[in-house]
Amino acid sequence: MSGPVLEMAGVTRRFRKGGGLLGGKSFAAVDNVSFTLPEEPCVSSIVGESGSGKTTLARMLLRLVKPTEGSIRVLGKPVHGSEGERMSDQEFRRSVQPIFQNPFEAFSSYLPVVDYLRATAKNLEVAKGPKDIDAVVDQALLSVGLSLERIEGKFIRQFSGGELQRISIARALIPKPQLIVADEPVSMVDASLRMSIINIFERIKDEQEISFVYITHDLSTAYYLSDHVSIMNRGRIIESGTPADVLDNPAESYTRDLMDAVPRVTERWPEIEEIKARQQGKEATQVPG
Amino acid sequence: MIEVKDVVLGYGSRAFITAVDGATMSVGHNEIVGIAGESGSGKSTLIRAMYGDFSTGLRMTSGRITATFPGREPVDCHDMRKTWWSDISYVPQGSMSVLNPLMKVHKQLVDGLPKSKRKGSRQAIRRDLESFLAGLDLDPSVLDAYPHQLSGGMRQRVLVAVASYVEPHLILADEPTTALDVVVQKRILLMLVEIQRRLGNSLVFVSHDLGVHYQIADRLIIMYEGKAVEAGPTDEIFANPKHEYTQRLIGSLPKLGTRSSNATSLRRAGS
């Protein structure tokens, strides 16, 4: 493998807003975004609040939405375009894998979860024959701390959210992709389990040399995990760099606002202190003696 | 305000599944109490029982929950329904699934108000609502919107506004800001504290985000495996967690500004 894993150049996606069949204005959900993931494995985070366009961006990376303008290349080959010119479906699915926010919606409740993992191995021609397929599935599950034996025959409701999210990570690992696009993978997971999943990402990156695009609104996990952070606001990337550059010394006021809004456990927001102090003052004057 | 004593709560009639297993706690006047714990620790079940919502198979097999509102006889949680939207109100988690998608916000709000608040002409109620919303920094135009026309954060703020409009003695909130991004979350938290301190009532909220608890709770209750394992002033619990689970919970937080040791060493090696 040589060259960047992912190149995005001037990617824009417009949607039409209101106005019935013919009228209406268009607005850009993603507006002229360019970035590159280098050859060596890394975690690149895209951080923004709801409506900033980060999920649309993820969906374009996963070939679920076509860009209006610009190009996306994975391993040098175009992701979008007509049948002949773009990367073949099979090759694309082997190179790029998704992890979505809600694992309970990612799997059907009518099939044992493990069927999805076997189907992935089979359809992407990672292994042939039931024995090989089981070996590949087991291997993938082991790297997230589970095993085939533990999940065999179980349905989604028999798993906790954290376990199920680990299973969807295992599923994504089966074809040994170069890139995993994770859209809010831990926002549905409990705080106490969140870090264990984040640590799995990091281990996979190092051990299996897989790059991640980590899409999140959670600055603390982005800071913890990423090699590179991009702040997205109203469809544009307004600031990017290493976590230390961007988050410790934000140049944009928007980034500062984001940082200030994180509920920390070390210092309180001055507004809270102010409201509480104000009311305490009132009480003191109301009860004289 | 509300006393919870040795309460055992669970679901199902034939096979009883215990969710809360002997929890004891109390909420005083004029304070914000946060209930923390992971999914499955029973925190949502407990708050539903405090609200007296035994509609979907929730059962209480022992213990008691009693609320004492100013100027009223003590109320048992099974009779709490009578005090809904006068003494006690509730902010649910999923704002999309609780607002009726086919009705404008205004009509839903007015329909939900107790009789005492519905006196007077429609215009007067409307004016009163508008000025109340303006006081909470919400544009009165939200009243004329359908729920889908509002963003998730806006809908949640509307729900908080509704819950406080009746000036209840007790507001219960189940994960009021989960699934919202930090900027919107901060606004809603500030709104909750502002309302609570202005009314001087009590707020009990459930969250699994310890950062949220640290920011707004005066007192913190930690739930673990259906029991309230630790309770005390927020600062004390964060400074000196006693229960082993609390220590683990506080220890596992990713603090903004910390990096995984591995990533830092890699960066050093690379630079």
A-chain CB neighbours of B260 within 8 Å are 198-199, 202, 224-225
Please tell me the distance from the alpha carbon of residue B8 to that of residue A238, in angstroms, as a whole number: 52
Q: Is A248 on the interface with B (CB under 8 A)?
A: yes
- B92 pLDDT above the threshold of 50: yes
- pLDDT digit string, tens, across residues B120-175: 888 888 888 888 888 777 888 888 888 888 877 788 888 888 888 888 999 999 88
Give the largest CA-CA distance in chain A: 86
| Test the A interface: residue of B175, B181, B245 with most A CBs within 10 Å | B181
Contact B169, B88 (CB under 8 A): yes
Where exactly are the structural domains of chain A? 6-265
Quick one: tokens of B197?
A: 């301190």
Per-residue pLDDT reduced to its tens digit, B192-222: 999 899 889 999 999 888 889 999 999 999 9
Average pLDDT over residues A263-279: 86
Min CA distance, A217 vs chain B (Å)? 6
Q: Can you give the pTM of this predicted structure?
A: 0.78
Rg (CA), chain A: 22
ipTM of the complex: 0.77
Give the span between the Cα atoms of A180 and A183, in whole angstroms: 10
Express each pLDDT in A85-111 by its tens digit.
899 999 999 999 999 988 888 899 899
Q: Is A262 in contact with B211 (Cβ distance < 8 A)?
A: yes
Separation CA A122–CA A175 (nearest Å): 10
CB contact under 8 A, B210 and A258: no
Distance from CA of A85 to the nearest CA of B (A): 36
- Which residue in this structure is represented by tokens 């292994």? A127
Q: For residues A79 and A72, what is the distance between their CA atoms, to the nearest angstrom? A: 6
Mutate to test the interface with B, among A265, A269, A278, A279 (most CBs of B within 10 A): A265
Determine the pLDDT at residue B268: 37
pLDDT at B257: 63
Contacts of A221 in chain B (CB under 8 A): 254
* Site of tokens 């990337």: A237
Contact present, A76 and A5 (Cβ < 8 Å): no
Q: How big is the A-B interface in CB pairs under 8 Å?
A: 128
DSSP-derived secondary structure letter, A160: -
Calculate how close chain A gets to B82, using CA atoms only, in Å: 31
Least confident range of A44-48, B11-15, B104-108: B11-15
Q: CA nearest B152 in A: which residue?
A: A50
Provide the pLDDT confidence category of residue A247 given band limits of 50, 70 and 90: confident
The residue of chain B nearest to residue A264, with distances taken between CA atoms, is: B211
How much of chain A, in percent, has pLDDT values that exceed 70? Answer: 93
Domain definitions of chain B by residue range: 2-99+167-270
Residue of B nearest to A42 (CA): B263
What confidence category does residue B267 fall into, taking pLDDT thresholds of 50, 70 and 90?
very low
CA distance B69 to chain A (A): 20
For B41, which residue in chain A has the nearest alpha carbon? Answer: A190
Give the separation between CA A205 and CA B131, rounded to whole angstroms.
54
In this complex, is the C-beta atom of A198 within 8 Å of any C-beta atom belonging to chain B? Answer: yes
| Most B-contacting residue of A104, A220, A252 (CB-CB within 10 A), to test interface | A220
What mean pLDDT, rounded, does chain A reach?
A: 88
- According to CATH, the superfamily of the domain at B2-99+167-270 is P-loop containing nucleotide triphosphate hydrolases (3.40.50.300)
Once rounded to an integer, what is the mean pLDDT over residues B6-13? 87
Segment B93-97 shows an average pLDDT of 67
Instruction: Read off the pLDDT of residues A168-203 as tens digits, 9 standing for 90 and up.
Output: 999 999 999 999 999 989 877 777 678 889 999 999
Nearest to B89 by CA among B9, B3, B161, B140: B161
Give CA torsion, residues A69, A73, A76, A79, to 10 deg: -100
Q: What is the pLDDT of residue A114?
A: 93
Mean pLDDT of chain B: 84
Is A234 an 8 Å CB contact of chain B?
no
Does A268 reach chain B within 8 Å, measured CB to CB? yes
Please, what CATH class does the domain formed by A6-265 belong to?
alpha beta
Nearest Cβ partner for B185 among A193, A259, A261: A261
What does the pLDDT average to over B64-92?
88
Alpha helices by DSSP H, listed for B151-257, are: 152-165, 182-199, 210-216, 234-239, 244-251
Q: Give the residue on A whose Cα is nearest the Cα of B267.
A: A227
Minimal Cβ distance to B260: which of A160, A218, A225: A225
Of the candidates A187, A220, A261, the beta carbon closest to that of B255 is on: A220
- Please name which of A88, A50, A104 lies closest in space to residue A217, comparing C-alpha atoms: A50
Confidence of residue A157 (pLDDT cuts 50, 70, 90): confident
Answer whether residue B55 shows pLDDT above 90. no
Q: Determine contact: A201 vs chain B, CB below 8 A.
A: no
The yes-or-no verdict on residue A282 having pLDDT over 90 is no
